[in-house]
Each structure stands twice: as C-alpha cells, then as structure tokens.
Amino acid sequence: MKNSSSISEEPSFAVELLGWPMDGLRNLPWHLNRVRSVVRSSAHQLWQYCEPRQMGQIVVYPRKEGPLCHFERDSNGRVRVGLNTRPNMYDKMAFQFAHEFCHVIAIHSRKGQLHDAIHCNHWLEESLCETASLFALRKMTIDWEKHSEFSTWENGDGKLYSPSHRVYAQKRIDSALLRLPIEQDFQVWFEKRHQFLRSHPIAIEKDKQIEAELREDYTAIATRLLPLLEASPENWEAISYLNLTTHRADKSLSDHLTDWKAACSERCRPLVLELERLFLPQALN
C-alpha cells in the first residue's frame, strides 16, 4: 500500500478562478481554497492505495455540462477535470471528483495507455468510477470526523458537515437498490442489461433518457462492486492498468478482462479475478 505520508507523490491541485456559480456566496478565494481541500481529500481516498508515482498537477474548473475528465493533458502537461457544482456543495463536489479521479487513474497515471471512451466495454470503467464515488464519500465521513482541517466544517444548518458525505452516498445506493435489489440475482440482471451497456457508450450518447438509464445501471453495478473494494482497497491500483491494452469495437467482456488481468502486476490481479467471478461465472465453470 502506498505510504500516505509521501507528500511528494500526492497529486497537486489548482482551481480555476472564474466561472463558479457564486449566487449568494461571498469571498471567492475562501471558497476556492475549500474546493482545493475537498478535491484533495476526495482523491486521497483512492490514491493512498496506489503505488507511489508522480501524477502531476490536476486543474479543476467549473463546467456547465456534466463532470468531465479530459483524455488529453493540456499544453502544460496538466490533467483537467471539470465539475458541475457550487463551490460550497462539498458532498456533491467530492462525489463528482472521485468519479473523475478514478478516470484520471485509469487514463493518466501510467504512460503509454491506449484508450477510447466509445469502446463497447467502457461501461465497466464508468461503473468502477461510480464505485469510487461511493467509496470515497463513505471514507471521507470517517476522515473528516478525525481530521482537524475538516472536523469543524459546518453545513448551512450549523451542523458538522462530515455526516453529509455518507448520507449523499447512501441516497445513491438506495436509489440503485430500487433498480437492482440486493436479493435479486446479479447475473440474471446483468445478462439482461449487458448488451444495452455495450451498445451505448456514454461518451457519445446524445439521448438524455438513455444517458440517465446508463447512469442508473452504472450505479446499480457499483453497489455490487463497492463491497469488493471496501474489503480490499489496495485493489484500486488495478484501475491504473485498465487501459494498457487495445480496445476493439467488438471485443468481448471476457477478452477485455483477460487482457486487463495480463497487463496487471501480480498483486493487482485479484480484483480482475473477482470481476470475472461476478460478471462471467459460467465461463469459469
């Protein structure tokens, strides 16, 4: 596991000054300093379990459309992440950023990656990123209760902010359980949804109804992935190997997982094996 005290290996964050929705808010520098603290805390919940290496700077900016991790670094070699939230909505901000930071790990944390966001297995990365959001918020609840930087932060009602992270995550989980109840057999559900997921890469989806349905599926899958990552959080490092192989348009999920497993270091393969058991149990019999 990564030594979280190795500050030089932690990503650095910059927050763009202009464009944040500030209605009713004052003191822009104060709020943007808090934005930097929130995204740093959100990223730390995942990055602390990854191998020490330099990520470079991540620039956070306000985006009117949905959150976005850019696939190309900017002219200064920085990763850009757009968020769609007010600078005082820390739970929503942390949720969005953890999702995008999981993409950062998958796309930017190792050199030479080949990645195409419209390939038919990209739903798996999106589901893992949704898992990252739930994972990060649940851990941030604990961290913020203990960490002196955050332990006194309050919400608009004058109550400590830290429990809000778990509440936000639980609402997402509860909504997903309406779509995929815990007592429902996952493989039966997944077989019904798999072709839909493969046929609609969210990166190019223009139909808002289909996009909403995709995101509901990602969250439903995330509720089954979350226990795996919470039980073995060191497996977040495996995400950095996800895009080291070519993604063909017709590539099967079995081949996608096999190639990912082959690209992984030995210590990162257990997560892929767990995913094979979850998504392809018949193939392993």
The CATH topology of domain 7-284 is Neutral Protease; domain 2 (1.10.390)
Residue 5 has a pLDDT of 39
Tell which wins on pLDDT, 8 or 243.
Answer: 243
Per the listing, tokens 């822009």 go with 28
With beta carbons less than 8 A apart as the criterion, state whether 47 and 37 touch.
Answer: no
Nearest CA to 214 out of 98, 122, 278, 135 is that of 122
CB atoms within 10 A of CB 165: 26
| CA separation for the pair 87, 18 (Å, rounded) | 12
Residue 228 has a pLDDT of 97
269-285 pLDDT, tens digit each: 999 999 999 999 876 54
Helix residue ranges, H only, 151-207: 162-179, 186-199
Domain boundaries, the chain: 7-284
Residue 191 has a pLDDT of 96
What proportion of the chain, given as a percentage, has pLDDT over 90?
Answer: 82
119-139 pLDDT, tens digit each: 999 999 999 999 999 999 999
